[in-house]
Amino acid sequence: MTQATNIHLSKQSSNNNWQSDNLVQFVDNEVYICLKESSGTPLRQIQKAARSIEKLGVKHARLSGDNWQADSQWSFALGFTCVGKLTNVEFTGSSECINNLNDKLAVFAWSRDLINQTPSELYPLKLAELAADYINAQAPAYVTSNIISGDELQQQGWVGIYNVGKGSINPPCLLEVDFNPTGDPDAAVSACLVGKGITFDSGGYSLKSNAGMFDMKCDMGGAAVVAGAMALAIRQGLNKRVKLFLCCAENMVSNDAYKLGDILTYKNGVTMEVANTDAEGRIVLADGLLAASETKAPLIIDAATLTGAAVMATGGEYNALFTLDNQTAEQAKKAAEKVNEPIWQFPLAAWHQDKCPSEFADTANSRPVPGGGAGGASNAAGFLSRFVDNEGAGWLHFDLATAYNGSSTSLFSAGGTGLGIATIAELIK
């Protein structure tokens, strides 16, 4: 077993030597994170310190001493954990605190590992099966699932997922997971989660560059986040009926791939012209939102690594939030603040539905200009709003700008982050 290194948290320097001004200091074989009183962002400083400590070669961290709180321990875990060390943190405090943090770390580790898998090993059907199995393992007596795959998607009218994925040798699929602890098959669904599960995105005929395609194994990050959120909420005592829909496909080029100019007709009658095959996420999410709307759930949350525009606007440090329902937006902001996950609400109005016009259909999926043109993230959300009921009441769209890092940063290791899981779990509880 790997020997653990003790990590202490202090508000004053632990040394009078050359280390005295350092955030990370060493005393004998133990490590101290020494926060300065002037630091206005202590949790961020702890996460940065944890990243530095991991880079020094520490294999396993044991948090020691009386100064650690639940939020500071979680910030350390986010910074320290990485590929090969996704659960290598020992927490401290009461047994309840330790158990809660271990549950959270286990779910984040599962979700992050899923995002980090290669596209050859994580194809659409396997993504759906792994998500269904993991959620089922949390509460086998209350979970059922169903997968619609391949040509059956087209037969049942799920045209978005089918067309985006039909060009791949690996068939697309729609996963439905039903968590129903009530025992009543007619119980109302309190919330629905919808996730973008594009296991690899070549861009289709709107082909990405080599650099733009390199990290596209992460394009199923939305599916990993909402599946993780459902699993975490169950571990934390979820007692309401919740459904999950994952829209899984590979966006590939082949003789059978969908094409620019194709027109799809969705179940709700909306016709859509393909203006950009690389704006495929919103095409598949439309099916998931329609499926969620059929349940009449008062809360529908979708999550996706959807637009580069959101990453550019936030610097990859916030998840972008879109909604037409300001009351539900405030609930999301409070949930995010409670679990210390940064989100930022972006503009969205009903007229954003008209920002992707088509001469041949009700809408296009984008605009045929780089990045979808000005307001690209809001325009994408406007497209999605066509597929939810009640003029968007109770609907939240998370554009996961923080879901993945191609290389390590001062806060996170390379790979999936899991950010968004805790906020969404809090919301559906």
The H or E element that residue 57 is part of is none
Range 338-344, long-range pairs (CB < 8 A, 24+ positions) = 338/426, 339/422, 339/423, 339/426, 340/43, 340/71, 340/74, 340/75, 341/419, 341/420, 341/422, 341/423, 342/317, 342/318, 342/402, 342/419, 343/318, 343/319, 343/398, 343/423, 344/314, 344/318, 344/319, 344/320
Distance, in Å, from the CA atom of 377 to the CA atom of 270, rounded to the nearest integer, reads: 20
The H or E element that residue 241 is part of is none
Length of the chain: 429
Distance, in Å, from the CA atom of 423 to the CA atom of 358, rounded to the nearest integer, reads: 36
Order of strands, sheet of 191-201, starting from the edge strand that comes earlier in the sequence: 143-149, 173-179, 242-251, 191-201, 300-304, 395-399, 319-322, 343-345
Cα-flanking dihedrals φ and ψ of residue 322, to 5°? -130, 140
Which stretches within 254-375 are classed as H helix? 281-294, 308-314, 326-338
Indicate left, alpha or beta for 260 from its phi (over 0: left) and psi (-120 to 50: alpha). Answer: beta
Distance, in Å, from the CA atom of 222 to the CA atom of 111, rounded to the nearest integer, reads: 10
To the query of whether residue 208 is one of the catalytic residues in this protein, the response is yes
Beta strand pairing status for 343-345 and 319-322?
A: parallel
Distance, in Å, from the CA atom of 400 to the CA atom of 281, rounded to the nearest integer, reads: 12
To the query of whether residue 44 is one of the catalytic residues in this protein, the response is no
Residue ranges with strand state E in 285-428: 300-304, 319-322, 343-345, 363-364, 395-399, 404-405, 415-416
SS3 224: helix
C-beta neighbour count of 214 within 10 angstroms: 10
Among 282, 355, 367, 429, the one annotated catalytic: 282
Among 44, 208, 240, 333, the one annotated catalytic: 208
First to last CA, the chain: 37
Order of strands, sheet of 89-90, starting from the edge strand that comes earlier in the sequence: 24-27, 30-34, 5-10, 61-64, 89-90
> Which token pair is 95?
């047994």
Distance, in Å, from the CA atom of 99 to the CA atom of 92, rounded to the nearest integer, reads: 10
SS3 201: strand
| Residues with active-site annotation | 208, 282
